[in-house]
Structure 1
Amino acid sequence: MITNTEIEKRGNQFPNHIVNFKQENDKLYFTTENGVILGLTVLRDSAIRFRYATEHAFEPDFSYAISDDVSLGYNELVVKEEVSEYIITTSKIRIHVNKSNLKVRVFDLDNVVILEDEFGFHWEENYNYGGNIVKMSKICHSGESYYGMGDKASHTNLKGKRVNNWVTDSYAYGKDQEPLYKAIPFYVGLKQNIAYGVFFDNSFSTYFDFANEKRNVTSFWADGGELNYYFFYGPKMNQVVEAYTNLTGVPELPPLWALGFHQSKWSYYPEKKVREITSSFRKLKIPCDAIYLDIDYMNGFRCFTWDNSHFPDPKKMVKDLEEDGFKTVTMIDPGIKIDRNYWVYQEAMDNGFFCRRADGPHFKGKVWPGECKFPDFTDPKVREWWADLYKEMIADIGVKGVWNDMNEPAIMEVPSKTANLDVRHDYDGHPCSHRKAHNVYGMQMVRATYEGVKKFMFPRRPFVLTRAAYSGTQRYCATWTGDNVATWEHLWIANVQMQRMSISGYSFVGSDIGGFAEQPNGELFARWIQLAIFHPFCRVHSSGDHGEQEPWSFGDEVTDIVRKYIELRYQLLPYLYTMFYKYIQNGLPMIQSLVFYDQDDTQTHFRTDEFLFGEQILVCPVQEPNAQGRRMYFPKGKWYNYWNDDVVTGGVEKWVSAEIEQVPLFIKEGAMIPKYPIQQYVGEKEIKELVIEVYYKEGIENSTIYEDQLDGYDYKKGRYSLRRFRLRGKENELIIQQFKDGNFITSYDKFKLIFHGLPFEIGSIEVNNEVVEPKDIKLNGSNSIEVSKDFTELHITGK
């Protein structure tokens, strides 16, 4: 890795004085005497693109990261030329561009400097490959913190860290190991409790130094391409993440079953073993919605084939599993076995779809099938062909989801673990080498997979999973954090990775529960389940060479604990589904670090363990063996202990009891948490009554419940149910107002409201301003009532 000092010692070049300025609507161009151009684009009042060129010319403007649905527009743009600088003002920020050296400073309207160039843009010739190593350095202020950057296995606060974005197969990676499986070059900065964001959209290998080498400098650079970054002003973290997520996109709503519990292993085969596993789930009444088939279902690891000796009738097996509530998910890797009798290989050869080396021959690499060739997924023709390959698997056999693995791409028996850097790619009509395409290769593979699965699943929704990703991959699929290890340290890593990925715009994420490599004991497995049921993607996966890793593999005590928490996951599915809706609508992370929840509290800036599941459930997993409890920090507000309704006022660190059967779990006061009945799989039961747990608050709290058919696309035509609740509690009364939208009719017609912390005994009840006899709404003791789902106002007063 090139250090700042090394770059400074070598042929470093800097912009000099500005000799020309021009404006084209929302685009401003500043050109220096030595041929540097700064292109500044105002996307929104608080979102600015900075793009630098050398030798008087920009590269073609193309990015895989940017969503087609990005919303643009600003309210104000004023450019003023001063003696020493240009000043650009929007309704949210002010940007100063120095005339003598092109350095940039960004201020808020209170004149607080938010982001300030140190060296600013500089570059050097890359003598090994041609082009430039491009770099930006910013001043780091005392107390400044940094978050995001995807799946890094390090502290949530990146201050003092250096990271590398180069998508890498990192089997059994360790804490702070670099690089890992994903390249998400986006961070959120927090300075004087003002949040901002930087997204360095460059698909070459990129590096970020967060005041590691120099404590007053934060910098980022790339091995090639342009210095092209986006700045987002908050001042709240949610505003920054929303702006980045708007730029890079969100997925469609998944089918609800994709949010259930999934079971996987390398590998479940033959068919008898698959049926044995699924039967055990139903026999032991442990909810599960999906069973995964790893590479051993294939004929000699050839993608899009089946091993007929192990799976003689896959269509019947998949149908039988579906009738028992299991959706089958199959793995597809990018490597295509070199075999002239293999139809996929021959089609790709006939059409010129495989990647080539610089001098013409096909790139070859060894993976599970042996010698393979690799399709160029950056070519639209190849993606279209790849999508159509899923027809038999999805439309004919009935597989419900696809899992793309090894798509970094991972290559065996070579030091780099991946493709040669001289491999050529189409890059959607912008030909380049693997140096530029590497970080997006897996993204474009899973994009093609998503398009194929969606095409052949219609009118149902697709489910796709990837290991490798670049910014924007969240538009297509869920992801997991790769080949982790069955250790307590990796339980901690999984926790911080989920928080980091969510703040990086990629919320549909999980880890291999229990660890992929090595073998967990029962306690570690139970504690991991207690964490992972609060992750949007929830799957057990293991390497299989060390023993069994099913929920019942660790004795009756652990089985009962695991069942209890998976059941809780299924009860909370309407809450989780609503979280997903808010993520799609507003870019709101489904997992929130404490600093995201309350950036004004400096105690949250370095917390790693606690997080919010959605906006109203606080979780603090136990991450050490033999623990009877742990210390945890409570953020602002009041929090009900889920297990006993004790109330804790935030702003304190407290000891919380947490023996093996319990995870510290707290509900925000005023929350209304919807729950489904326990089901063995999504859709097993018709929901006849929606339970809503109501946590009293003296004051006001808002809650939301989103529902639709839980699959299909009718929700896009208005067939959804969106209920917004406004709870207002006083000393002797509770008022709940409901505001409804959408025309989806739910299967239930009543709510069961279960009250927690109600400080009075219910005396009278009014529904829609009419007094109702308690018997008419089924007053059950003093802590629950049943009421029509269509009420607009519920007014409860004490005796």
Structure 2
Amino acid sequence: MDPFGTRGARSAALWIAVGLAGPIAPVAMGGPPVAESIGAGTVRFFADADAQTAAHPSYALEKPRPSVGPAPEGFGVRVAFSVDGAGKRVARVDCPPGTDFYGTGEVPGQLRRNGRSTVLWNHDAYGYRDNSPSLYQSHPWVLAVRADGSAFGVLADTTYRVRVDTGPSSDPESIVLTADGPAFPVIVIDRPSPQEVLVGLADLTGRMPLPPKWAVGYHQCRYSYFPEARVREIATNFRQRKIPADVIWFDIDYMEGFRVFTFDRGHFPDPRALNADLLAMGFHNVWMIDPGLKARDDEPSPNEPPGSDLDKEPEAPRKAREAEKARYRALRDSGTAADAWVKNADGKVYQGQVWPGWCYFPDYTDPGVRRWWAGLYADFMAQGVTGVWNDMNEPAVFNVASKTMPEDNRHKGDPGMPRDDGTPQGPDAAAGDHARYHNVYGMMMVKGTREGIRAALPDKRPFVLSRANYLGGHRYGATWTGDNTADWYHLESSVPMALNVGLSGQPFIGPDIGGFAGNGPPGQEAELYARWIGFGALLPFSRGHSGKDTIDKEPWAFGPEVEATARAALERRYRLMPYFYTLFREASVTGLPVARPTFFADPADPALRHEDDSFLLGADLLVVAQMVPDRSRSPVMPAARTGERWQAFDFDGDSTHKDLPGLYLRPGGIVPAGPVTQYVDEKPLDPLTLLVNLDATGHAVGTLYEDAGDGNGYRDGEYLLTTYAASLAGDVVTVSVRGVEGRTPRPARKVHVRLFVAGREHRGEGADGQELRIGVR
């Protein structure tokens, strides 16, 4: 068999596909396609030898992946290359009947992507809908799951605009990738299960760094909490009402005239003191930084008070404002001195309009510019800032039809970035236009931001949230699903959107709970929020956020009944924090997502492939939500063997809240939980609760990961990873520690066991680390 020799060359020259724009004219390539192995079950395809030689270094891959030999004989997936009538490069993968498609990153609509077309071009997509072709992020990746549950992934390794057609109606058993720019490699990972494909993707693109534990808590945000007194009011309400939360966010109105790295000293006179007071209450903080730097000093920013109002301010804040502006001019001018700005095609510095007015934009593709950018965070983080939010970094530009900078703008790139053979690409190959670098602009901004936080706070784990992203961007920060709307469509889309981003290699993902834009359907605002916070409290990134000129959307804003629901929802998250943090650690080690599609419980079960209303947390916990107003949909549950069941459970009767999702424990699973806390490190984990559901053989197993919650000691073994096991013998179940990793000693604490056998709950308690026996007669 010769799947990549003359037969492959013939198919590359002669195949004809039909895409959205009509027939693709067959154009012969310059020679036979090239297929090389770059790891077990992983093959990289090139259109021909010339394309292999000319390939750009990869931004998706964590490091160069040189060939380890020819593609294995009989590799089950083929890629055919062509050029369409418009001169665009096309790669096509034929798929067996019954294949379902997932991934493609941040996409609206349903989880299953069959019959969908996605244009990967980072786009400011405020209020997006199901037919929006492009959103804020680009992940040129498709996960294909065959009818038998085996799977393969397809990665288009290009930063240019790509249209991904997954099972188009004209050709439903195919993946067609149509890209601007030069010929691009396609990497295929073929494995026995979708989980193993995602581990293979992480082998290529890297793993998410373990975040600080506080970032796994609940976040509260608004555009904007302003002035300082409002921030303090929000923090006090959370603590007085005993609603768990860990983070309060600051949108752009904290800045002096939207100038980045400044503070409006008239309304935030002492940010260091504010951050210290919040931290004393158990709140970390995240502050927004955008890429646009105000260019024109003689142009007032849109939000700046008129001079007549400023003249009425007391002398101290007026002088403080002027000092902020002077400090800003100095840092901006340091960027000019560093030749930091993106250029027009004619070589002049580009300016585009964003929040402060006309702005310069740093060229984050240049590692020297990223170093300059990182250095700006030293003073900023010294104000007690604990996290950073990079927004508007598609990059978004106002008052132009494209909503971004011209595609012929010029970037320097990274001359030292290595090709697959390890040699640097050099300055001529690195330099490129914005069409090449647009999709990675935001990711490179976040890379620089992360480097700046690490330098400023070397003993802390950085937390960065980015609106724009590209495949592999999980190496630098978390993300969310952008500016959604307070309506039932966006509520219903929240889970499948988060899952598809997770299936594209980014575990730290979630929506704006409650909807960013708008107030909600008239008369249904409270119900919409209650339903959203119910399941949103269990997604990996859990943040309530709302826009300007919308109603308040804090957990208490809709009255006592919804407040009680929100409190119960967030108490669930904090009770399950031991499990959540364990899953984040697993994601940082394996690359598996924290939230997973229900079909991961049985990839061969076709009934689960369309399931949008439920999701798995890790492997052991199923969350079943009601996504439509009349609660008329019944999610499909994973099947269980005879003598097993996905065991429903709750905490202290919280299932009586009608808007909370159902929780189900996998047969054979052990899930660690703890008491309610108001923030993650309020008190030690004591008692530890183990939720145990025996399988048909009478066994269960699960793990608990613990460390300091911040800092870098875990890299040197300062953690405790415990494997717990349960087994039934006769009428007695024994729960014990099966294995231990790490140097951190086990704390002296109680352990409570909630044991489910044949649908009945039994309880026991003892000391953690000691064998516990529970009678089940």
Query: Structure 1 length as normaliser, TM-score?
Result: 0.84
The structural deviation recorded for 1:327 is 0.8
The structural deviation recorded for 1:685 is 1.5
Deviates more, 1:631-640 or 1:374-383: 631-640
Give per-residue Cα distances to partners, 1:16-36, cap 9 Å, x unaligned.
Answer: xxxxxxxxxxxxxxxxxxx33
Matched, 1:244 2:231: no
Residue of structure 2 in register with 1:4 after alignment: 19
In structure 1, what residue type is equivalent to 2:666? K
| Higher RCO (C-alpha 8 Å, min separation 6) | 2
Matched, 1:570 2:574: yes
The structural deviation recorded for 1:607 is 1.7
Deviates more, 1:187-196 or 1:728-737: 728-737
Give per-residue Cα distances to partners, 1:171-202, cap 9 Å, x unaligned.
Answer: 00012321111100111112232211111111
Residue of structure 2 in register with 1:537 after alignment: 541
Equivalent position to 2:131, from 176, 198, 201: 176
**How is 1:142-291 mapped onto 2 (pairs within 5 angstroms)?**
142-193=97-148, 194-212=150-168, 213-291=170-248
Give per-residue Cα distances to partners, 1:630-669, cap 9 Å, x unaligned.
Answer: 41211132211114999xxxxxxxxxx9863432221113
SS at match of 1:50: strand
SS at match of 1:382: helix
The structural deviation recorded for 1:38 is 3.4
Equivalent position to 1:382, from 369, 372, 383: 369
Deviates more, 1:335-344 or 1:672-681: 335-344
Contact 2:55 2:184 (8 Å CA) reproduced = no
The structural deviation recorded for 1:756 is 3.1
Q: RMSD across aligned C-alpha pairs, in angstroms? A: 2.4
Using the alignment, how far apart are the partners of 1:319 and 1:487 within structure 2? 37
Choose between structure 1 and 2: higher strand proportion.
1
Equivalent position to 1:347, from 327, 334, 350: 334
**How is 1:421-440 mapped onto 2 (pairs within 5 angstroms)?**
421-429=407-415, 430-440=430-440
In structure 2, what residue type is equivalent to 1:506? Q
Contact 1:645 1:757 (8 Å CA) reproduced = no
SS at match of 1:65: coil
Residue of structure 1 in register with 2:731 after alignment: 732
Using the alignment, how far apart are the partners of 1:698 and 1:123 within structure 2? 55
Equivalent position to 1:298, from 249, 252, 255: 255
The structural deviation recorded for 1:41 is 2.5
Report the CA distance shift for 1:133/1:69 in structure 2 as closer, same or farther (over 3 A): closer
Contact 1:641 1:667 (8 Å CA) reproduced = yes
Report the CA distance shift for 1:249/1:367 in structure 2 as closer, same or farther (over 3 A): same
Residue of structure 2 in register with 1:371 after alignment: 358
Residue of structure 2 in register with 1:45 after alignment: 40
Residue of structure 2 in register with 1:693 after alignment: 691
Using the alignment, how far apart are the partners of 2:496 and 2:267 within structure 1? 39
**How is 1:411-430 mapped onto 2 (pairs within 5 angstroms)?**
411-429=397-415, 430=430
Matched, 1:741 2:741: yes
The structural deviation recorded for 1:8 is 4.4
Contact 1:336 1:344 (8 Å CA) reproduced = no
The structural deviation recorded for 1:486 is 0.3
In structure 2, what residue type is equivalent to 1:786? E
The structural deviation recorded for 1:495 is 1.0
Matched, 1:625 2:629: yes
Report the CA distance shift for 1:3/1:166 in structure 2 as closer, same or farther (over 3 A): farther
Residue of structure 2 in register with 1:650 after alignment: none
Using the alignment, how far apart are the partners of 1:57 and 1:270 within structure 2? 56
Matched, 1:639 2:618: no
Residue of structure 2 in register with 1:13 after alignment: 27
The structural deviation recorded for 1:215 is 3.0
SS at match of 2:185: strand
In structure 1, what residue type is equivalent to 2:155? F
Where do 5+ consecutive residues of structure 1 fail to align?
A: 16-34, 80-87, 96-105, 108-114, 127-131, 647-656, 761-781
Contact 1:140 1:217 (8 Å CA) reproduced = yes
In structure 2, what residue type is equivalent to 1:665? L
**How is 1:703-714 mapped onto 2 (pairs within 5 angstroms)?**
703-714=702-713
Give per-residue Cα distances to partners, 1:716-768, cap 9 Å, x unaligned.
Answer: 111111111222235523233421111112444332223234789xxxxxxxx
Give per-residue Cα distances to partners, 1:576-625, cap 9 Å, x unaligned.
Answer: 01111111212222111122331111111222212101111111211122
SS at match of 2:229: helix
Using the alignment, how far apart are the partners of 1:688 and 1:494 within structure 2? 33
The structural deviation recorded for 1:701 is 2.6
Report the CA distance shift for 1:68/1:570 in structure 2 as closer, same or farther (over 3 A): same
Report the CA distance shift for 1:135/1:311 in structure 2 as closer, same or farther (over 3 A): same
Contact 1:630 1:658 (8 Å CA) reproduced = no
SS at match of 2:374: helix
**How is 1:586-597 mapped onto 2 (pairs within 5 angstroms)?**
586-597=590-601
Give per-residue Cα distances to partners, 1:491-543, cap 9 Å, x unaligned.
Answer: 11111111111111111001100000001311110110111111111101110
In structure 2, what residue type is equivalent to 1:749? R
Using the alignment, how far apart are the partners of 2:28 and 2:59 within structure 1? 29
Contact 2:765 2:772 (8 Å CA) reproduced = no
Equivalent position to 1:546, from 543, 550, 556: 550
The structural deviation recorded for 1:546 is 1.6
The structural deviation recorded for 1:359 is 0.8
Residue of structure 2 in register with 1:668 after alignment: 666
Using the alignment, how far apart are the partners of 1:735 and 1:51 within structure 2? 56
Contact 1:697 1:729 (8 Å CA) reproduced = no
Using the alignment, how far apart are the partners of 2:212 and 2:20 within structure 1? 51
Give per-residue Cα distances to partners, 1:533-586, cap 9 Å, x unaligned.
Answer: 111111011103122111110000000110011011111111001111111212
SS at match of 2:634: strand
Using the alignment, how far apart are the partners of 2:595 and 2:96 within structure 1? 28
Using the alignment, how far apart are the partners of 1:56 and 1:289 within structure 2? 49
The structural deviation recorded for 1:351 is 1.6
In structure 2, what residue type is equivalent to 1:265? R
Using the alignment, how far apart are the partners of 2:280 and 2:766 within structure 1? 34
SS at match of 1:633: coil
Residue of structure 2 in register with 1:787 after alignment: 766
Using the alignment, how far apart are the partners of 1:644 and 1:537 within structure 2? 22
Query: Structure 2 length as normaliser, TM-score?
Result: 0.87
Choose between structure 1 and 2: higher helix proportion.
2
Using the alignment, how far apart are the partners of 1:748 and 1:410 within structure 2? 52
Contact 1:36 1:56 (8 Å CA) reproduced = no
In structure 2, what residue type is equivalent to 1:505? G
Using the alignment, how far apart are the partners of 2:701 and 2:679 within structure 1? 30
Residue of structure 1 in register with 2:716 after alignment: 717
Using the alignment, how far apart are the partners of 2:20 and 2:264 within structure 1? 55
Where do 5+ consecutive residues of structure 2 fail to align?
A: 1-16, 298-325, 416-429
The structural deviation recorded for 1:798 is 5.1
